[in-house]
Amino acid sequence: MHVLQLTIKEPWVLLGGGCTETHLAAYIRHKVHNEAEDVVREDGYSQAELRIATEAFCSALESVASSLEHDGGDILIDMKYGHFWSGQSDSASVVNWQDMLSRCGCGLYNSQEGLSWSFLRSTYHPFAPQKCLSQAAVGTASNLTVDCFTAKLSGLQVAIETANLILDLSYVIEDKN
Query: What is residue 92's predicted lDDT score, i.e. its pLDDT?
Result: 54
In a domain, 82, yes or no: yes
Q: Which residues contact 26 (CB under 8 A, 6 or more apart)?
A: 77, 82, 126, 127, 129
pTM above threshold 0.75: yes
In a domain, 173, yes or no: no
In a domain, 16, yes or no: yes
Burial 127-152 (b: 16+ CB within 10 A, else e): bebeebeeeeeeeeeeeebbbbbbbb
Are 74 and 86 contacting, i.e. CB atoms less than 8 angstroms apart? Answer: yes
In a domain, 162, yes or no: yes
Domain range spanning residue 2?
A: 1-168
In a domain, 134, yes or no: yes
Query: What is residue 135's predicted lDDT score, i.e. its pLDDT?
Result: 55
Residue in 122, 116, 30 with CA at minimum distance from that of residue 80: 116
In a domain, 176, yes or no: no
Task: Name the residue type at position 36.
Answer: A
Query: What is residue 18's predicted lDDT score, i.e. its pLDDT?
Result: 93
In a domain, 106, yes or no: yes
Query: What is residue 36's predicted lDDT score, i.e. its pLDDT?
Result: 80
In a domain, 95, yes or no: yes
Residues in the chain where the model's pLDDT stays below 50: none
Q: How many structural domains are present in the chain?
A: 1
Query: What is residue 69's predicted lDDT score, i.e. its pLDDT?
Result: 87
Q: Collapsing DSSP states into helix, strand and coil, what is residue 74?
A: strand
